[in-house]
Amino acid sequence: MSVVSVKASRDYKVTIGAGVISQVGSILKEVAPGITKALVVSDTNTKALYADKVKALIEAEGIQVSEYTFEAGEQSKNIETIAAMWGVMAKAGFTRTDAIVSVGGGVAGDMSGFAAATFLRGIKVVQVPTSLLAMVDACVGGKTGIDLKEGKNLAGAFHQPSAVIEDADCLATLPDEVFTEGMAEVIKYACIMDTELYDLLNANSSRGIAIREDSELMDKIVTKCVADKAYVIEVDEHDNGLRQTLNFGHTIGHVIERNSNFTLAHGVSVAKGMGIIIDSALAAGTLNAEDAVKMKNLIMAYGLPVTDPITPEDAVSGALNDKKKRGNTISLIVVNNIGKAEIVKMTPDDLLVFLKGGSKV
Ligand code: GLY
């Protein structure tokens, strides 16, 4: 088991390891003194797998548990689901010392965090992420929110969790494609800031996603990613600088994801976005060929794509709708060497020229 401390507007611990879900009741009591009620949020996949167990563990601490389960999938990430969560808590008489416990992937985590940020102007949330993507990225750092019909994650709040509990045993029940998409975010950390992680992933790349069966290795990988994210959050909690480097591959990836009508998974779209930016940076001469090949080979070794037929014109017009755009400027994340990312502010015209340089379409 390992514990990573996150220092932010609210400090908290991320507990990582096989079987740590059994600590959820005691951790909840510790981080939410005076708690009498908890809302356990799950989706239709995680309810039977984990949420029933989490409910029993919390009840064993003498805390009254209400439950809310939503239909698994991004289509549930909307204001109606949040309103339903608020309603369950209001009916049960929750007060400011009570809390939400989220059991699921990024969608559950984002919505539980947003419901917690807004109910009674803010109650505590404990995150129990069950997917690789949520463990290494979405459930750490306090970004919460919902989708609007105009776009993904357009309404939300920064609301740090009070604790995060990451049970590596949960990775065993993930469908292959869900584990694979999580590897895109893992590889992202290696590319932007962590050469040790790159070496570890590269040394195991011939095993591909079979690494999920190696719980010791997975603990190590997840812990490294969480420690990387904790460092970034400590420096830039509110996304004004360093935190933006976590968007490597995301600017174009989000466009690809949206254009697929969300039939392509987030991680798969991010992998394609990273591949496109790597090709463009290589063509622009800011990235050397050896590192470009190494990063693309690593992405592919873990079952992810590095290309997409999107045209540079469509990529730029989609990027203009991205919520990360500030004024007329797009902050593009480029990697100059493995482990070193840079934020490059570009006008839409600059981005078009940059993408045309690397375009394979
Ligand atoms: N998922 C990127 C971030 O938390 O900033």
Residue 289: Cβ within 10 Å count: 8
Q: Is residue 186 scored above 60 in pLDDT? A: yes
Q: Whose CA is nearest to atom 3 of ligand 1?
A: 246
Q: What is the pTM of this model?
A: 0.95
Q: Are 230 and 223 in contact (CB under 8 A)?
A: no
Q: Is residue 341 scored above 60 in pLDDT? A: yes
CA distance 263 to 266: 9
Q: How far is the CA of 238 from the centre of ligand 1 (A)?
A: 10
Q: Is residue 83 scored above 70 in pLDDT? A: yes
38-79 per-position pLDDT tens digit: 999 999 999 999 999 999 999 999 999 999 999 999 999 999
Nearest C-alpha neighbor of 248 from the set 220, 218, 269, 226: 269
119-135 per-position pLDDT tens digit: 999 999 999 999 999 99
User: Which pLDDT score is estimated for 320?
Assistant: 87
Mean pLDDT over 326-351 rounds to 93
Q: Is residue 323 scored above 70 in pLDDT? A: no
206-262 per-position pLDDT tens digit: 999 999 999 999 999 999 999 999 999 999 999 999 999 999 999 999 999 999 988
Ligand 1 binding pocket, CB closer than 6 Å:
137, 141, 143, 239, 243, 246
Helix axes 266-284, 250-259, angle to 10 degrees: 130
Q: Whose CA is nearest to atom 2 of ligand 1?
A: 246
DSSP letters spanning 190-205: HHHH-HHHHHHHHHTG
145-173 per-position pLDDT tens digit: 999 988 888 999 999 999 999 999 999 88
252-287 per-position pLDDT tens digit: 999 999 999 889 999 999 999 999 999 999 999 999
How many alpha carbons fall within 13 Å on the CB side of residue 326?
Answer: 9
**What proportion of the chain, given as a percentage, has pLDDT over 90?**
93
Q: Is residue 361 scored above 50 in pLDDT? A: no
Q: How far is the CA of 137 from the centre of ligand 1 (A)?
A: 6
Q: How far is the CA of 61 from the centre of ligand 1 (A)?
A: 33
Q: Are 15 and 76 in contact (CB under 8 A)?
A: no
Ligand 1 pocket mutation, candidates 243, 248, 254, 269, criterion most atoms within 8 A of CB = 243
